[in-house]
Amino acid sequence: MKIIDTISEIENQLQGCRKKGETIGLVPTMGALHEGHASLVKRCTADNNISVVSVFVNPTQFNNNEDLKLYPRTPEKDYELLEELGVDYVFSPSVEEMYPEEDKRVFDFGQLDKVMEGEFRPGHFNGVAQIVSKLFAIIKPDNAYFGEKDFQQLAIVRDMVRQLSMPVNVIGMPIIRESNRLAMSSRNQRLSEEQKKNASEIYKVLRESKSSMSEYTPEKLSDYVIARINNVPGLKTEYFQIVDGDNLQQVTVWNDSDYIVGCIAVFCGDVRLIDNIRYK
């Protein structure tokens, strides 16, 4: 496994692979890797001749400097895991390497980035699009892998690829959960054991809501979920929205769409957690 920190070197290395007709897969990460990331990497190495994992905490997608400062960074542990998983290249650039000057590009995602995460984290998805488009332009992957925990992000990346006519196959992978069913996240490292126990109620309530959907309208079910989660010590729901899985707009009746997903953001203390569940 080679760890590379400059754009010119990773481009040179991959150019040789491409000339041999080898397929390239990319898993973009911000490090602090866990089993969720490992599932993406395993799929990437299985699907492609060459696997690349980027490890880069992207400042342009944080609208809270404190959150950026507190984001966990465990590079040595990450590299050890990636070597065990058989990764060919790790691309781990500095901020100055990726942003030698300010990236002033502004993307238009219509309503996709105005709801849910976009409403509560203004500018977040523009930052995601900036870094992912840069990585795609540098690595030029045939396939790129993203977790479905970040459901809205996956929709944004797919729309960005469509807008920029990038020849990348974007593959979404199922949520990986801890033994208590809490969705795996790098941010979980900041939770105490008691907080993790409380946070495990998020998915428990989501699952219960799925079995109760015939009894409620989407709006009433949303109210039910929020009330249940807010009743758990230390948890505070930021939003829970039941949306069309394609356009991310809220549904008002269950037959509005054949693809309906409930997306949630919850604060556990000062740690912000997201999760989702597919209703149909």
69-97: pLDDT as tens digits: 989 999 999 999 999 999 999 999 999 99
pLDDT tens figures, 30-49: 999 999 999 999 999 999 99
Taking the model in full, what pTM does it have? Answer: 0.95
Give 245's contacts (C-beta < 8 A, 6+ positions apart). 151, 257, 259, 260, 261, 278
**pLDDT confidence tier of residue 64, bands split at 50, 70 and 90:** confident
Mean pLDDT of 132-145: 98
Average the pLDDT over 221-228 and give the result. Answer: 98
Confidence of residue 63 (pLDDT cuts 50, 70, 90): confident
What is the mean predicted confidence (pLDDT) over 159-187?
97
The first and second tokens of residue 182, run together, are 């809490």
CATH number belonging to domain 2-173 = 3.40.50.620
**Would you list the domain boundaries of the chain?**
2-173, 186-275
Q: Which of these is catalytic: 37, 134, 149, 228?
A: 37
Are 207 and 179 within 8 A, CB to CB? no
- By CB atoms closer than 10 A (0-12, 13-18, 19+), residue 266 is buried
Task: Please state which architecture CATH assigns to domain 186-275.
Answer: 2-Layer Sandwich (3.30)
Average pLDDT, the chain: 97
Q: Are strands 169-173 and 89-91 parallel, antiparallel or unpaired?
A: unpaired
Q: Does 37 qualify as catalytic in the annotation?
A: yes
| Same fold yes or no, 2-173 and 186-275 | no
Residue 25 confidence (pLDDT) above 90: yes
| Burial letters 91-114, b for 16+ CB under 10 A, else e | bbbeeeebbeeebeeebebeebbe
Q: Of how many residues is the chain composed?
A: 280
d(CA 111, CA 247): 8
